Amino acid sequence: MKPLFIATIIWCILTINVSAQQKHQVTAKEKLEDLLLKKVEEVPEVKEFLEQGNHHQLIIDDEPHKGFKYYVVKMGYGGDMFMTLERFCVNPKTLEVYYWDVMADDAGFSYSAIISLTKWRKLRKTALWHKPHTYKAEKLVALAN
């Protein structure tokens, strides 16, 4: 009976330890995501948007994975269904925020359309920004209709 009792005690200790480690990992991830959301909230255009309404919000949409180093943060309207207006990317190592111009992507979600906030502010004032476009060599290029 003693070996079974000892094995049960060891199993309980291991289970408690694994559970505590999982809780710590979730907490660390939640803290990082909170920090990332705060970085995007600091973008003046985002801050202005969030101040306009109760249902205006940011959500984490994706996290880094193989071949993609950013967290994706969506800005939009909440409620029963979330409506995305803009997407931002945040580098979790540098906490630098980028704009993801998904409308520029003529073949799906292209990573070439992740641009600096400075470039975004400049480009969105151009006539080409409001027409079908993509990026070639980090420049905005019109797409044929």
Do the strands 83-90 and 71-77 form a parallel or antiparallel pair, or are they unpaired? antiparallel
Predicted TM-score (pTM) of the model is 0.76
Q: Is the pLDDT of residue 99 over 80?
A: yes
Cβ atoms 102, 109 nearer than 8 A: yes
Q: Which domains does the chain have, with CATH numbers?
A: 37-142 (3.10.450)
Q: Measure the CA–CA gap between 75 and 88, rounded to whole angstroms.
A: 8
**What pLDDT, on a 0 to 100 scale, did the predictor assign at position 117?**
96
Q: Is the pLDDT of residue 57 over 60?
A: yes
Strand, helix or coil at 1? coil
Cβ atoms 74, 84 nearer than 8 A: yes
User: Is the four-CA dihedral 62, 46, 85, 112 of positive or negative sign?
Assistant: negative
The rounded Cα 66 to chain-centroid distance in angstroms is: 15
Q: What is the DSSP letter of 104?
A: G
For residues 2-10, give the mean pLDDT. 65
Q: Who wins on pLDDT, 112 or 2?
A: 112
